[in-house]
Structure formats: structure tokens, C-alpha cells
Amino acid sequence: MRGGKQSIAVTKLPYFGIAVKARPLTPNRASSPAAIKVNCHGSCGISNKMNDTAWSLEEQYFNSMLSVADKGTLSPGEHNFPFQFLLPVSVPTSFEGPFGKVVYLVKAAIDTPRFSKDYKAQRPFYLLNPLNLNEVPDIGHQSYAFTTKKFSYLLVKTGTLMLKTQSDMKGYIPGQVIKLATEIHNKSGKDTGYVLASLMQKVTYKAKRPVVDLRAIAEVEGAGVKAGKHAEWREQIIVPPLPQSALAGCSLIDIDYFIQVSLKSPEAIVTLPIYIGNIPVNLSASMPIRPDLCSPAVARGAAGVTPSAPPAEEGLDDELCAGGTASEELPTKSHSQQDPSGQPVTMSPSAFSHTPGAALPPGHRQQEASAPLFCVSTGATIPFFTEENVTPIPTSCSLILPPEYSSCDYPH
């Protein structure tokens, strides 16, 4: 190979199936004897330091090597060598986070004689091991949580507050809408602070010193509740493109999602665990029972939900939900994801733009100036409806997004 111009590359791979295929390209001129080897490698690495490439802990899923050309002389021109690797069925979906990643690479190299230059190339490919939400128990049922809070104000006065929330299901895919219903009963002489509903992502990196990356994916803020009032707040959160829950097959990284509804002044929080998957819930197979929001029996017996505060005194729930105080609708202050026109919203994951700009939800015509725009902040943070021409605002922490499987820059 000495004196000749050499090159090697790995071409784009087809969509992930039973096998991964590629073609390395060999020199453009005559070459001396050489062997061409290809390696397919999959692994996960994590670290306690952000964006570190020296992993403190690793696990390997596969590491296969094959020779596509034995030593010999290649004639001038381009040579293609097809190859394929069989991949394990249980490998985890590709993932990239600030403290670790699950990566898959194909590497090709021309094994040259001693003292000659080696030519190498590599290319990542992404794997998607779909999470079927229908395989999660009770995924189509509503999720409930409630808490009560006793607090003091004005030094000598006391009050009681109840916060109850529910979601329409326990599992969603990107583009679907999480419907939330929240009840707040303020049995005090003091107005409460605002209420905040957040879609939270919790990524745990299981290093020797575990790292937990907790961030708010989307937030919707509602107004406070007046003294002595019983208020209901109905909102929704549109699920942006997100990595699937759990990351099955990986023992070093775990991904959890939950809805957190919190009230400020007095402080009260409830959480609803949810799943983010790739195959949506099929509600037609077994329609879940949809109990009333104010059913205390259902709220107390909600499976898998642990109240975030001690349970209410016996009979308090019945009193709060009995309708003794007329309930009022609680307005949303900011980042509402409900369409003001009243039309149902269903978003495709492709409608989420990660660069400045906006996409219109289905049913809206672009020429209508009064139609609300669907915006996503730079860095893919909080989607919201706005009736003004606003520029998306970058946030301090960008989301952990799944790989772009449709990208032409990367094989998949």
C-alpha cells in the first residue's frame, strides 16, 4: 500500500431487522497484499462526570469480527465487500444521555503490512427495541393520587387542603395527549399559590456512585385557589419525542417517567407514574372502567399509587367531594396545551421541531391568523399554544431525545 492513495468507508446500513449489512470501500489504486476486517460492536458506558468519554462502568452486548477479504493484491478501482452480522434479540434501544449512552458501531479496517499506514473507518447505527405498552399490566386504566395538607397561617390560624389528580391512562407514545384532571379544596381563610403540572423524566445511571438526572419535560401552570373554595383544573400535556421507559436489556441505565402535580403555598405534591413506549395502548381490546373523579373509594384503592403524604382523616374525602361547596373552574396561567378553539388535539411526533419555528396541529389552516400556533422551544423543551407570534425561548437544560431514526446522516 505504500505510495498509493487509499480510502475506506462504511456505507449506510438498512433499517434494523434480523441482520445489519454494509459495504466497505477499498483503495482506488493497486495495493499490496492486505486483509480487510469488519467489527460490529454494541455496548453501554456510564460515568459520574457529565459528557465524559472515559467510562467508569461498561457492559458489552456483542462484539463480532469477520474478515471480508483475505490478504492479496487488489486491482485499481473501487471494490465492494458485502457483509452481515446477526444481532441478539434482547439488545437495548440506542440511548444518549449526559452521563452515559448505549451505542452501536460498525468498524472497518485495512490490515496493512508492518510499518505501513492503516486505514480505518467507522459508522454508528441505531437500534430500536420497541416497547409495547399493551404488555404492561393495567396500562389502559386511569391513575389516581391524592394528598391532604394541614397548615398554619397568620401565626394562630390553621387550615386543611386537599389535592387530588388523575390521568386518563398510564401509558403513552410520543405525540399522544396526557389528559389530566385535578381537584383542589382549600378549607382555609388563605388563598393558595399556583398549581403546576409537570411531565418528569428520571434517568438513573447505576455507577458505583449512582447519578440521578431529573428534569421537567413539559409544564403547565394553573392559577391559585381562593380561600374556602373548591376548584377543578383540567389540562393536558402533549408527549414530545422521548426515549422509551425502562430501557430493557440495559442494566446500567434506567428511565422512568411520572406526572407531578404540585401546589405552592402551602406546599403539596402528588405523583402519577406513567410509561412512555413505542406501540400505543389498544383500548378497544379491554376498555377500562372510567370512575368518577370524586370517587373516594377508587382514590383510596388506586393500585400502584402511593400517596405522597399521610392519608386524609376518615370522612374528610367524602366531605370534600360531597359538593357542599360549589366547585369552580381553575384557569391556566401559562403554557396551556389545550387548543382555545376547542378542537381535539392529536400530534404526530414529527410535529415537534427542535429548531426555532412552529408547526400547526391537525385541523388548523395556516392562513388563519387567529389560529393558535403550536410551538416548541429551542432545544425541544416545553410545547405550548400561543395566540401571538412569539419566538421559541431556549431553556437551561435540553431534553434527552431518542435517536433520529429517519436521519439520512446515520444508518439505522
Residue range 379-405: average pLDDT? 40
Weakest-pLDDT range from 79-83, 135-139, 188-192: 79-83
- DSSP labels for 223-283? ----TT-EEEEEEEEE--S-PPSS-TT-SSEEEEEEEEEEETTTTEEEEEEEEE-SB---T
| Whole-number pLDDT of residue 93 | 93
| Whole-number pLDDT of residue 335 | 62
Q: 243-258 in b/e burial notation, b at 16+ Cβ within 10 A? A: bbbbbebbebbbbbbb
CA nearest to 148, candidates 298, 261, 317 = 317
Centre a 10 Å sphere on the Cβ of residue 357 and count the other Cβ atoms it contains.
12
Q: Would you say residue 356 has pLDDT above 50?
A: no
| Whole-number pLDDT of residue 407 | 38
CA–CA gap between residue 254 and residue 246 (Å, rounded): 5
Q: Would you say residue 406 has pLDDT above 70?
A: no
In order of their start, the domains of the chain are 19-124 (2.60.40.640), 133-333 (2.60.40.640), 339-396 (no CATH)
| Whole-number pLDDT of residue 25 | 54
More confident residue, 326 or 359: 326
CA–CA gap between residue 278 and residue 128 (Å, rounded): 9
Q: How many residues in the chain? A: 412
Percent of the chain residues topping a pLDDT of 70: 59
| Whole-number pLDDT of residue 11 | 56
Residue range 52-57: average pLDDT? 90
Residue range 297-311: average pLDDT? 38
pLDDT in tens, 77-104: 777 778 888 889 899 999 999 999 999 9
More confident residue, 245 or 21: 245
In terms of Cβ atoms closer than 10 Å to its own Cβ (0-12, 13-18, 19+), residue 310 is exposed
Q: What is the end-to-end Cα distance of the chain in Å, rounded?
A: 32
| Whole-number pLDDT of residue 17 | 27
Q: How confident is the model at residue 262 (pLDDT cuts 50, 70, 90)?
A: very high
| Whole-number pLDDT of residue 115 | 59
| Whole-number pLDDT of residue 21 | 44
Weakest-pLDDT range from 22-26, 265-269, 297-301: 297-301
Of 282-286, 303-307, 342-346, 369-373, the range with the highest mean pLDDT is 282-286
CA–CA gap between residue 303 and residue 170 (Å, rounded): 11
Alpha-carbon torsion, ordered 208, 276, 408, 42, to 10 deg: 30
- DSSP labels for 55-102? -SEEEEEEEEEEEEEEEEEEPSS--B--EEEE--TTPPPPEEETTEEE
Q: Would you say residue 320 has pLDDT above 90?
A: no
